[in-house]
Amino acid sequence: MVEKRETSINGQTITYTVKRSLRARHVRLEVGRQTGLTVVVPHSYKIGQLPGLLESRERWISSSLARCSNFQSPYAEEKLGSGDTIPYLGRDLKLVKRENHSEVDSVTLEGDTLAVSHGLFKNGILELALEQWYRAEAARLINERVDRLSSQMGIHCKRIVIRGQKTRWGSCSHKKNLSFNWKLIMAPEPVIDYVVIHELAHLKEMNHSKRFWELVAQHCHRWREYKKWLRQHEANLTAKLCP
């Protein structure tokens, strides 16, 4: 039996998978790059005990998730700190450490400044908090753009999923679901629109034929330029558009 549940760790909501195992004799925590946190519990384990157990392992979970996180500092090996910049919608945001005014840690965008609670400025935790902020921003913006562009193109999708694909900016399925990489939120808005248009166009033309590119061009005249932008930046963000 597999079940998805949520918990709060260091003020961040984490979705995790609970697996009941006939063979497990103790609770086991696993963290994987693709799978996130998985909690394997013995068959007869009382789920009500889980929150307490996770709380006691909070530090381990948080540092393991951060280690497996897809977030890569644009400054490669350097640790991020207050005053550094991170990319967002094609511009640079300055990270600024803020004292907390409440119990809850937060990441807040204020113009070109990203104010991050003092409590999140710890190794590993900061990267995790930033990735979660990026993911939430990506979900908000991409949902909004898909809504708008799909009605403009007269092509509708069923579901939008925001993922952390290593090798894709976006993809579509024959079930008419679209997936987008959260790292797109670092790209300028017209580039994000191009990726949305590209994936929506695939719902009509499931290939990269001449007809497909004509359809893309109808809704995005400068697609060549945006495609080039993604190619130039994919080394930093390690993703490509479609196979």
Query: Is residue 217 within the footprint of Zn ion (CB under 5 A)?
Result: no
| Residue in the shown chain whose Cβ atom is closest to Zn ion | 242
Residue 199, number of CB atoms within 10 A of its CB: 24
Residue 80 is given by DSSP the state P
Pick 19 or 163: Cβ nearer Zn ion = 163
Pick 57 or 240: Cβ nearer Zn ion = 240
Pick 129 or 241: Cβ nearer Zn ion = 241
Please state the closest distance from residue 225 (CB atom) to Zn ion, in A: 17
Residue 240 is given by DSSP the state B
Pick 18 or 197: Cβ nearer Zn ion = 197
| Pairing mode of beta strands 85-88, 91-98 | antiparallel
Asked if residue 186 lies in contact with residue 87, where contact means CB atoms within 8 angstroms, the answer is yes
Backbone φ and ψ for 203, nearest 5 degrees, come out as -70, -20
Pick 43 or 224: Cβ nearer Zn ion = 224
Query: Is residue 68 within the footprint of Zn ion (CB under 5 A)?
Result: no
Please state the closest distance from residue 202 (CB atom) to Zn ion, in A: 6
Pick 16 or 223: Cβ nearer Zn ion = 223
Please state the closest distance from residue 171 (CB atom) to Zn ion, in A: 8
Q: DSSP letters along 113-171, please? A: EEEEEGGG-STTHHHHHHHHHHHHHHHHHHHHHHHHHHHHHT---SEEEEE--SSBSEE
Asked if residue 195 lies in contact with residue 241, where contact means CB atoms within 8 angstroms, the answer is yes
Please state the closest distance from residue 216 (CB atom) to Zn ion, in A: 9
Whole-angstrom distance, CA of residue 127 vs CA of residue 235: 19
Region from 1-9, 130-138, 187-195, 234-242 binding Zn ion, contact rule CB under 5 A = 234-242
Chain-centroid distance, C-alpha 210: 32
Residues within window 102-121 making contact with Zn ion, judged by CB under 5 A: none
Query: Is residue 242 within the footprint of Zn ion (CB under 5 A)?
Result: yes
Q: How many residues bind Zn ion (CB under 5 A)?
A: 1
Region from 14-22, 102-110, 117-125, 235-243 binding Zn ion, contact rule CB under 5 A = 235-243
Asked if residue 10 lies in contact with residue 58, where contact means CB atoms within 8 angstroms, the answer is yes
Please state the closest distance from residue 148 (CB atom) to Zn ion, in A: 20
Q: In the complex, which residues of this chain contact Zn ion (CB under 5 A)? A: 242
